[in-house]
Amino acid sequence: MRSIKSSLLLLLLFLTALAGADEIREANLKILSQKGFRVAPNLPTERLSELRPQEEIELRMDALLSLVLWVTAPPGVLDDEALRTRALSGDLEPWLTEEEKAIFKQDKATAQAEHIDTIGWQMENIWGLAWVLGYSTQPPLSGQLQGDQARDLILGFGVN
C-alpha cells in the first residue's frame, strides 16, 4: 500500500509539472468555489525574477496613501483638491487602478460614505509596500492596523 501511495504522489508531482499554472489555478478555484469560498481569481501565476524598482514601489504606495487619505481624512484637513488633482492628472495617476481613480472622481463626502468601511484593505497593501521599503514595524497577529500603527505608517512615509 505504501508503494502505491508513493507512486501516486510521484505521478501527481509529475503531472503537476506538466500542467501550467493557469490550469492548476482554474482547478483549485473550481474546488474552492464548490466549497463556498470566494477567492481573488486574478493573482499572478508567474513569479517575477526581480523586485520592481524602488521608485515604482514608492509611487504605488504614495498613490494608495493618497487614496486612503481621500477617503478617511475629514474635509479641510488636507488640501483635498490638490490631492485629487495629483491622483487624477499628476504623477500618481499611472499608479492607480481604474476603480481607485473612480473613487477620486467622487466628491469627498460620497467617497467617504461609500468606501470608509473597505479602505482598510488599501492600508494592508500599503503596509506590505512599506515593508519592502524598510518599514520595520511588524503587523499584529490579528492582521488589523490599530490607530497608532496606521498613523505611524502614514506619517512615517507621508504623502509628498
Dihedral sign computed on CA atoms, order 120, 122, 124, 130: negative
**pLDDT above 70 as % of the chain:** 66
140 is written with which cell numbers?
Answer: 499584529
Instruction: Quote the pLDDT of residue 55.
Output: 93
pLDDT value for 50: 76
pLDDT for 48 equals 60
Rounded (10°) angle between helices 98-105 and 108-115: 130
Asked if 60 and 129 count as a contact pair (C-beta separation under 8 A), the reply is yes
The pLDDT tens digits of the residues spanning 8-17 come to 555 455 555 5
pLDDT band, very low/low/confident/very high, at 96 (cuts 50, 70, 90) = very high
Higher-pLDDT residue of 69, 41:
69
Q: Where are the domains of the chain?
A: 2-34, 54-157
